[in-house]
Amino acid sequence: MKYLIGLILINLTLSSCGQSNSINGLTIDPEIKIEAEKHFKSESEYEKINTSHIGFQIFENSLEFDFYENDSLIVSTHGKPKAILFKSFYLWKGDTLIIDGAIGLFGGGGFSIQVVDGKATVYHLLSSDDFPTYAYGETTEIIFRLDVPCHHTKAIVSEIPTKGTGKVIYGYVEFESEYYYSTNGAVGGKEVEPRTKARSNMKIYFKSGELKI
């Protein structure tokens, strides 16, 4: 009887430990690296950046995306991933892990996975460098970066990186974004109206280094 009670207590302890280490909305799978690397092509001109202390990873990445404007499908690579220059990194802000990835070297659209308090949330990341371009609503403020809420999300990472180690992690993310708005420029200091209503679906494999700032 004492032996049986001991086994029950051990199982309960292991179960509670597993629950405390789990992350809602995120799968930890070291094997994702194998599949992810099939989608990458190294860009030799950026290799010095990839191996530097900065932490960025810049590479050619095959990804799938659908882009809609005003409810009309404008671009789709469904079933035919398109190779595009891509950048990705992760960083810690206090207890929050942020993994960002986006098309191109400056600005661009992609994803942001934000992990805090045992929960991961996937956003469609939109960023502009030169001037504010995006807004959450038709009349809200135009800003430089949006983290657009998403649905039908899936996120996988090879591991949760330890802060300060600089280790490269691998992963996969997919999502369907909610709508957002973008400006059509400005004339005489006034925004050209109307704004463009848009949304995106994406499926992306990635590798991220720790951003040192």
Cα–Cα distance measured from residue 192 to residue 187, given in angstroms and rounded to the nearest whole number:
7
Structural domain boundaries in the chain: 23-210
206 or 185: whose pLDDT is higher? Answer: 206
Q: Quick one: pLDDT at residue 46?
A: 58
Q: How far apart are the first and last CA of the chain?
A: 57
For residue 33, name the pLDDT band (cuts at 50, 70, 90).
Answer: very high
> Which two tokens mark 86?
């891509």
In this prediction the pTM is: 0.84
Residue (of 44, 22, 211) closest to 112 by Cα position: 211
Q: Tell me the mean pLDDT in the region 90-100.
A: 95
Q: Quick one: pLDDT at residue 95?
A: 93
CA angle, 147 then 156 then 81, to 5° = 80
- Model pLDDT for residues 36-76, shown as the tens digit of each residue: 999 988 765 556 555 555 667 889 999 999 999 998 999 99
- Model pLDDT for residues 146-163, shown as the tens digit of each residue: 999 999 999 999 999 999
- Model pLDDT for residues 111-125, shown as the tens digit of each residue: 999 999 999 999 999
Fill in the amino acid letter for 36: A
Phi, psi of 135 (to 5 degrees): -145, 150
Burial per residue of 91-112, b for 16 or more beta-carbon CB atoms within 10 angstroms, e otherwise = beeeeebbbbbbbeeebbbbbb
Cα–Cα distance measured from residue 95 to residue 164, given in angstroms and rounded to the nearest whole number:
13
Residue with token string 């191996």:
51
